[in-house]
Chain A
Amino acid sequence: MAKVLMINPMVREEDDPKHVPMGMAQLAAIAIKKGHQIQIYDHNAWRADDEQIKEVILSDNWDLIGIGGITTAYASIKKIAKMARKILPGVTISLGGGVLTSLPKEIMKWLPEIDFGFIGESYVTFPEVLEMIDAGKSDWHKINGTISRLEGGELYFSPKRELIDNLDALPYPAYDLFPVEEVYFKNSAMMYSEAGMLATRRLDINASIGCSLICRFCYHLGIAGDMRYKKDAKGKIVNVEFDQPKNYTRTIRYNSPEYVVQLAKYVEKKYNANYLYFLDENLMTMDVFSRRTWLKEICKLWKENDLVPKKRKDGTWKGLYWSGTSHATLCEPEILKTMGEHGCAHLVYGYEAFDDRILKLMGKGSTRKTNIRSFFWTLEAGIRPIPNQIIGFPTEDFDSLKMQMKAWDDLGVMVKPHFATPYPGSEWFTVYRKKIEEQYKGQGKKLGLSDDLEAFILDLGDATRVSAVISKNFNAVELIGLREMMVHRQYEKIDQYEQEWRKKHKIPEGQPSTLCGQDNKEKNLEIKAAAK
C-alpha cells in the first residue's frame, strides 16, 4: 500500500497554532481506511527548524509527499516543496488545498517542484491517486480533479472532479495524527466568550460545506459548487473560474444532525474535549436550507447525548460548549435562543460594515438594520455576537466610515477592522486582478520570483494588515491611518483629514467624499444599482 508523508505548512507565523487542518485530517482518515500508510508532519504546529524538516523528509521511503494548505501558507509551502525536491530529487510531490485550487496554472508555474496538484475537493481524488501508486503508475492526468505536467512540460487539466453527495459517508477526521495534546490543546482558549477563554481542550469540526451568499470578498475554492472549468473552442480545459459578476454557482451540503452529534460525542469521550468549534462557513445557511430543522435537531440530540455543558463548582464543566458562524439576515430569535440554551457560547457575524450602500454592493445579503437586529437577538439568547468589521471597500467614503464608527459606539463594539483584501478565488480578485498586479509591479523581479502576482501571494496575510488595496478613494497609508483613528474613536481627527483630502482631490464640501467618476457618476450608478 502507498506510503505517504502529508505536510501541513505553517500559516500565521505571528500567531499560535490553534486549528487542526480539517481537510488534511479527513483525507488522512480516508486513506487509512483504505489501508494506506500515512504519516503527518504538522509544520504549523511544530514549527521545527530546517534541519529537523530535513530529518522528517528523510525518515522513510515515501511514495508521495503531499503538501496541502490555504493561500496564506504559500511562503511555507514554497520553502518545503523546494527542500523536499532538493533532498529527494526522485520523490513524487503533490499539492492540494485552496492555494492550488485558486490559481492552478500560476502555482504550477511558480513551483516546478510540484509534480501534480489536486483541484477542488479531494475526498475521491486522493484515494484514486494512492490506488494508482499501488498499481505502480504515475498517470496523474488520467485522474479527474488534477493538474499535472505532460511530457514536454505542458500543464494538463483532467476533467472536473464532482463533489460527493453524502458527507456522512466520510470517516471522522484523524485527529490522532496531529499533535493535539502536545500543541493544540495548549492553545484551546478562544477570546470570544467566557467559556471560550476557559476552554482547555478544544477541538474543531466541520459539519457543512458551502454558503448560499455571494459576498464579493469571499472564496470557497471549488468545494461549494463555486468552481467552473473554462474550455477553449476545441473543448480543452484551459483554466478554472470562480465567482464573477452575474455568474455565481453554489452547492450546499451538510452532515446529518446524527452524524454531527455522534462526532461531538466521540470527540468528548476520546479526547476529553470541553469545547467544540464549528469551522463551517455559515451555520445559518444550513439551517435555512433544512427549513429550520438542522440546528434545532442538533441541539435536541446535543441534550439527549448529555453534551449540554453543566458547570461544576470549581468553574470547569461537564459537556461541550460550542460556537460557529451565523448570518445577520438568516438567523432568527427562536433558533438563537435554542442554541444559547444548548451551550453555544459565541457566534461570529460578518457584519463587515454598517452602510447599506456598501453592504448591498458587497453582496452580503444583509443591511444595517439586520446587522443591529441580529446583534441584539444574539445577546438576548445569551450568546456573545462577534461582529467582524472591514474597511477599504472599493467605493467606501468618509460617510461610510463615520457610519461604521457610530454603530460601534451604539453597540459597544470594540474592534480593529480587517482590510478589504482580494483573495484568489474571490470575485474581487477576478475583478481587480490587474489593479493588484500594478500595485506589485517590479516586486517579482526584485524578490527573484516568477512574476509580480507571486509577490502579492507571498505578501498575503489574514487581512489584519494591508496587502493589495482595492479602495478607489483611499490608499494603503490612508487606510492604516484611518483605521487607527477609528479604533480610538478620533472623530475630529478624521474630520480634519477629510478637509485635507477634499482639498487635495478638489471635492467641495457638500459633495460625496468619493473619487468614483466625474461628478460622482460612478457612485450614483452604484447607488441606483443597489436600489434595484
Chain B
Amino acid sequence: MSLLKGNYKVKTDIKKKKLSKEDILEEKFEKAASKRLGGSMVYIKKKKINWDLKD
C-alpha cells in the first residue's frame, strides 16, 4: 500500500511498512483493551516502556 497518492507517479514509491504478525496482534490487542479501560481493566502499552529505567 503506497503512502502517497497523487495524479502522477513519484520518483520513489513509498510503501506502508508491513508489520510482523506479532506487531499486528499487539496493536490489535492494545486498541481493543484501551476501549475497555476502567475498573479492573488495565493493560501495558509495551512500546512506551522505558526499558533503561535505573531507579
Contacts and interface: CB of A to CB of B under 8 A. Distances in A.
Interface of A: 5, 14, 32, 37-42, 46, 48-49, 51-52, 55-56, 58-61, 176-179, 182
Contacts, number: 55
B24 interface: no
Interface in B4-19: 4-8, 10-14, 16-17
A46 B3 contact: yes
B39 to A, nearest CB: 13
Contacts of A51: 17
A38 B7 contact: yes
A42 B5 CA distance: 9
Contact of B11 (A32, A38, A60): A60
Interface string B11-55: 111101100000000000000001000000000000000000000
A14 B17 CA distance: 21
Contacts of A55: 3, 12, 14
Nearest to A59: B12
Given A14-B34, A39-B10, A61-B11, A52 B5 contact: no
Contacts of A32: 7
A39 B11 CA distance: 11
Across the A-B interface, the 3 shortest Cβ-Cβ residue pairs: A39-B6, A59-B12, A177-B5
Contact of A56 (B1, B4, B7, B34): B4
B11 A41 contact: no
Contact of B14 (A14, A37, A56): A56
A31 to B, nearest CB: 9
Q: Is the interface of A mostly helix, strand, loop or mixed?
A: mixed
B20 to A, nearest CB: 14
Contacts of A176: 5
A58 B7 CA distance: 18
B8 to A, nearest CB: 5
Contact of B17 (A37, A52, A60): A52
A40 B11 contact: no
Interface of B: 1, 3-8, 10-14, 16-17, 34
Nearest to A16: B31
A20 to B, nearest CB: 11
Nearest to A48: B3
Given A37-B8, A48-B3, 5 more contacts: A48-B16, A51-B17, A52-B14, A59-B12, A179-B5
A179 B11 CA distance: 20
Contacts of B3: 41, 46, 48, 52, 55-56
A56 B12 CA distance: 9
Contact of A39 (B1, B4, B16, B34): B4
B34 to A, nearest CB: 7
28 contacts: A5-B4, A14-B34, A32-B7, A37-B8, A38-B7, A39-B4, A39-B5, A39-B6, A39-B8, A39-B10, A40-B4, A40-B5, A41-B4, A42-B5, A46-B3, A52-B17, A55-B3, A55-B12, A56-B3, A58-B12, A59-B12, A59-B14, A60-B12, A61-B11, A178-B5, A179-B1, A179-B5, A182-B1
Nearest to B11: A60
A180 B17 CA distance: 18
Nearest to A52: B17
Contact of A59 (B1, B4, B7): B4
A406 B3 CA distance: 49
Nearest to A183: B1
A176 B1 CA distance: 14
A38 to B, nearest CB: 5
Given A48-B17, A52-B17, A182-B1, A40 B6 contact: yes
Nearest to A62: B10
A38 B7 CA distance: 6
A39 B10 CA distance: 8
Nearest to A174: B7
Chain B CB count within 10 A is highest, among A37, A48, A51, A60, for A60
B26 to A, nearest CB: 15
Contacts of B17: 48-49, 51-52
B9 to A, nearest CB: 10
Contacts of B11: 59-61
Given A14-B34, A182-B1, A59 B10 contact: yes
Contacts of B4: 5, 39-41, 56, 59
A264 B4 CA distance: 26
